[in-house]
Chains A and B, each alone.
Chain A
Amino acid sequence: MIYRIFALAVLLGGFGSFGAQADNANIVRTATGEYSYINQDTDEIVGHENWSLLIDRDGSRTFTIAQRWDERDYVTRTILRLDANLRPIETYQTRWDDKGWASSGVYTVVENTVTAVVTGRGGRATQTLEVPEAFSMVPHPLTTDGLHFWYVDAPVGETIKGTVYNIRKRDELSGGVLGVVHTVDLTFLGEDSLTTEAGTFDTKHFKMGEDSDFWIDARDGVLVRLSYGPEGTRYDLTAYERSD
Chain B
Amino acid sequence: MTKFVATIFTVSTLLWSTLSVAQSGDTDGPNANILRWASGTYAYTTLSDPRDRGWERFHMNVYADGSRTMNMWHDLKARSAQFTVIHRVEANFRPIETFVPYWVANGFKGSTLIRIDGDTLTASASGPAGQHDQTIPVPDVFSVGTHPVSADGWHLWSDNGESGVDQSSKIYSMEASADVTKPPLGTVRDLAFKRIGEETITVPAGTFDTIHYDLSGSQVWITKEDRLMVRMINERFDRDYVLTEFDNENYGEAR
Partner of B51, one of A7, A18, A69: A18
Q: Are A50 and B255 in contact (CB under 8 A)?
A: yes
B1 is an interface residue with CB less than 8 A from chain A: no
Q: Are B216 and A5 in contact (CB under 8 A)?
A: yes
Per-residue CB contact flags for chain A residues 67-89 toward chain B (1 = under 8 Å, else 0) read 01111111101110100000000
Per-residue CB contact flags for chain A residues 36-56 toward chain B (1 = under 8 Å, else 0) read 000000000100101010101
User: How many whole Å from A92's CB to the nearest CB in chain B?
Assistant: 4
Q: Assuming the A-B contacts A45-B252, A77-B86, are A72 and B24 also in contact, with contact meaning beta carbons closer than 8 angstroms in the complex?
A: yes
Contacts of B19 in A (CB 8 A): 140, 167-168, 177
Q: Are B191 and A24 in contact (CB under 8 A)?
A: no
B207 is an interface residue with CB less than 8 A from chain A: no
Contacts of A45 in B (CB 8 A): 252
Q: Are A70 and B54 in contact (CB under 8 A)?
A: no
Q: Are B101 and A13 in contact (CB under 8 A)?
A: no
User: How many whole Å from B149's CB to the nearest CB in chain A?
Assistant: 8
B108 is an interface residue with CB less than 8 A from chain A: yes
Contacts of A187 in B (CB 8 A): none
Q: Assuming the A-B contacts A10-B145, A52-B57, are A140 and B15 also in contact, with contact meaning beta carbons closer than 8 angstroms in the complex?
A: yes
A160 is an interface residue with CB less than 8 A from chain B: no
Contacts of A94 in B (CB 8 A): 69, 86, 88, 97
Q: Are A73 and B31 in contact (CB under 8 A)?
A: yes
A21 is an interface residue with CB less than 8 A from chain B: yes
Contacts of B103 in A (CB 8 A): 26, 56
Contacts of B77 in A (CB 8 A): 21-24, 27
Of B73, B104, B155, chain A has the most CB atoms within 10 Å of the CB of B73
User: How many whole Å from A100's CB to the nearest CB in chain B?
Assistant: 6
B59 is an interface residue with CB less than 8 A from chain A: yes
Q: Assuming the A-B contacts A11-B237, A12-B147, A210-B13, are A230 and B6 also in contact, with contact meaning beta carbons closer than 8 angstroms in the complex?
A: yes
B173 is an interface residue with CB less than 8 A from chain A: yes
Contacts of B152 in A (CB 8 A): 10
A224 is an interface residue with CB less than 8 A from chain B: no
B224 is an interface residue with CB less than 8 A from chain A: no
What residue in chain A is nearest B45 (Cβ atoms)?
Answer: A21
At the interface, is chain A mostly helix, strand, loop or mixed? strand
Q: Tally of A-B residue pairs with Cβ under 8 A?
A: 244
User: How many whole Å from A25's CB to the nearest CB in chain B?
Assistant: 4
Q: Are A208 and B190 in contact (CB under 8 A)?
A: no
What residue in chain A is nearest B115 (Cβ atoms)?
Answer: A119
Complex formed: what's the CA distance from A170 to B18 in Å? Answer: 12
What residue in chain B is nearest A96 (Cβ atoms)?
Answer: B33
Per-residue CB contact flags for chain B residues 30-44 toward chain A (1 = under 8 Å, else 0) read 111110000100000
Number of interface residues of A (CB under 8 A): 83
A151 is an interface residue with CB less than 8 A from chain B: no
Which of these binds chain A: B60-68, B157-165, B196-204?
B60-68
Contacts of A100 in B (CB 8 A): 33, 63-65
Q: Are B26 and A71 in contact (CB under 8 A)?
A: yes
Partner of A68, one of B105, B126, B173, B251: B251
Q: Are A108 and B126 in contact (CB under 8 A)?
A: yes
Per-residue CB contact flags for chain B residues 1-19 toward chain A (1 = under 8 Å, else 0) read 0000010011011111111
Contacts of B192 in A (CB 8 A): 2, 6
Contacts of A8 in B (CB 8 A): 173, 189
Contacts of B209 in A (CB 8 A): none
Complex formed: what's the CA distance from A75 to B46 in Å? Answer: 37
User: How many whole Å from A129's CB to the nearest CB in chain B?
Assistant: 16
Contacts of B10 in A (CB 8 A): 228, 230-231
Complex formed: what's the CA distance from A210 to B14 in Å? Answer: 9
A173 is an interface residue with CB less than 8 A from chain B: no
Q: Are A142 and B33 in contact (CB under 8 A)?
A: no
Per-residue CB contact flags for chain B residues 80-98 toward chain A (1 = under 8 Å, else 0) read 1110101010000000010
Q: Using CB atoms and an 8 Å cutoff, list the residues of chain A in contact with chain B.
A: 2-3, 5-15, 17-18, 21-27, 30, 34, 45, 48, 50, 52, 54, 56-58, 60, 62, 64, 66, 68-75, 77-79, 81, 90, 92, 94, 96-98, 100-101, 104, 106, 108, 117, 119, 138, 140, 142, 145, 148, 164, 166-168, 170, 177, 184, 208-212, 226, 228, 230-231, 235
List 20 A–B pairs whose Cβ atoms lie within 8 Å, in order of A's numbering. A6-B217, A10-B215, A12-B76, A13-B53, A21-B77, A48-B251, A58-B107, A62-B73, A69-B31, A73-B27, A81-B101, A92-B111, A98-B24, A100-B64, A104-B97, A138-B15, A166-B18, A168-B18, A211-B14, A212-B13
**Top-8 shortest CB links A-B:** A6-B216, A209-B13, A24-B77, A9-B173, A92-B99, A70-B31, A25-B80, A12-B147
